[in-house]
Amino acid sequence: MYDPHGEYETAADFEGSLSLGNHGNNVHSGTSLARCTLLLLLSLPLAGCGLTGYFTSEDQPEAPVDGSISREAGSDIDSSSSAKRSGETRVRFKALDLESLEKLLCERHPALVGIRQEIADLRQQIDPSWLPGARWSDSDSGPESGRYQGDRQIALDWSPGALSREERQKRQSSSQLRILSLQLEETRNQLLLDLRQLWSDYWLHQQQEETLSSWLTRMEVAAESDVTLEENGLLGRLEQKVSDWNRRIAESSRLKYSAVESINEIGSRPGNARLAKPAEPGDLRFAGIEDMDRNRRHPSEILASERGRYSRTEIDYSDPRTWDGLVIGAQTRQDPGQPVASSGQGSKSGDWILTVGVEIPLGADEEDRFRRQQVESAGSRRLELVRIRKQIQNRIESSREQVRSCDRRIDGYLRSEPTVTDFAESFGALLVQLVESTNTTQFEDLWAQVEVLLAKQLDYQQAVADRAVGRFQLAELLVSPLDPAATPRGFTRSLR
């Protein structure tokens, strides 16, 4: 099975044996018996030996089985005895990491596929005419040509105006292609940003769930090994605290699985498909991006500029001064149904009449209207571009400040006493005192210290996740996208 992304795992177990024996001492009778047995066995179904799919041309594996999200990275190969007997192939979704999901998203997301299809359709529609600037009409080619009772009329006109319109349509098509390409880039970058932010949430809730579970387990073990709390009537208070922590663990687990479902949804995978356990929120490849200067225009800014140029081009080519009004034509009359033929004098098919004329536009003052439209549209376009640039610059500054603020929080925990790496050890020391509490005041004071320590640990993890989000936003705003065909790792330059 072709799997360009390594997204699936397959396992097929084929077992079975085929043996024939030589029974008796009579060589001729043994040989005949062996031949009969061979023919009989070949005529039977071979499901037991796992070759049914081979002889029945079942070369397509069954649909992928939804892999359940487990905490342990176990094997996904279905090695049950029933699978071995039937020789069937089980396919499960692999646990993908962030970069694999980015590649999958860029190739499969419906929004990107739809825009690519629009681009392909538009390119097919760009079909140049056989004679630029020509207009052809034939009375026999219309839907009511069979009911036409008069002479067949055929006309071929060429004019600079028609040529200008064709050139305008070509420019419009090129501009539309450019706009669609920018929309593709903008949509792709936004989807990548959404995916990375979800991955950061997934990492955060995974870390918080593990921290709470680990500390709670240590607390329960310590309480069971010491009877001081029970003797002093404080065990009920500890049970209330444990119940509160269990609710927090359940909430972290719910948020984690919600992030998993959202990640799989944006990657066009089943909601419960497994994900790799993240070791970090995914922003290490963008470390230092907050110190980079802006080196490109954002796709939304280029898109607004391109749309403005597209509108301006339409107004320019609607101006009658862009063509001189000259029209050169040829016309003939002949019997209905007669083929088109060149004419000489006296031809039965009719003579061609050459006409030369000038088309004069009538109506309002086109020059003044054109100037007013140019002034109004140019002013609105400039204002829109200024607004977009200001908005992008504000987003850049906000993301930079977010990254730097998170850096300060993280550095504070790394330099504090105790440091974040010593929080677990400090919790163990507090736990020893907690289970030996002799009165309510002592118990509550020690528990307050435990809560402060836990809050610092969770806030440190939140700061790491928030810094990752800020870096992801800067990557979308600052870093030039790469060619998806040449770089399958997404569309932002790696800074790792």
CATH number for position 226: 1.20.1600.10
- Binning the chain into helix, strand and coil, the percentages to the nearest 5 are 60, 10, 30
Which alpha helices (DSSP H) does 226-277 contain, by range? 228-231, 235-266
120 and 242, same domain (yes or no):
yes
Backbone angles phi, psi at 356, to 5 degrees: -130, 125
The burial class, CB within 10 Å (0-12 / 13-18 / 19+), for 263 is buried
| The pair of three-digit structure tokens given for residue 203, joined into one six-digit string | 């990492």
| Reported pTM | 0.64
Return per-residue pLDDT of the chain as tens, 496 residues.
445 455 555 443 333 333 334 444 443 444 455 555 545 444 444 443 433 333 333 333 333 333 333 333 333 434 444 444 444 444 456 788 999 999 999 998 999 999 999 999 888 877 666 566 666 677 776 555 555 556 677 776 666 666 667 777 777 788 888 889 888 988 999 999 999 999 999 999 999 999 999 999 999 898 888 888 888 888 889 999 999 999 999 999 999 999 999 999 998 888 888 899 999 999 998 998 888 877 677 888 888 777 766 555 444 444 444 444 556 666 666 666 666 555 444 445 556 676 666 555 555 455 566 566 655 666 677 787 888 888 898 999 999 999 999 999 999 999 888 888 888 899 999 999 998 888 999 999 999 999 999 999 999 999 999 999 999 999 998 865 443 333 334 334 333 3
Dist. CA 126–CA 85, nearest whole Å: 57
Q: Please state, in angstroms and rounded to a whole number, the distance separating the CA atoms of residues 385 and 206.
A: 42
Q: Is residue 110 located within the same domain as residue 201?
A: yes
Same domain for 291 and 248? yes
- Are 24 and 117 in a shared domain? no
* Domain, as residue range, for 84: 8-94
Task: Kindly state whether residues 391 and 468 are assigned to the same domain.
Answer: yes
**Whether residues 271 and 229 fall in one domain:** yes
One-letter identity of residue 168: R
The domain total for the chain is: 2
Q: Has residue 373 been placed in a domain?
A: no
Q: Is residue 344 part of a domain?
A: no
Question: Are 12 and 79 found together in one domain?
Answer: yes
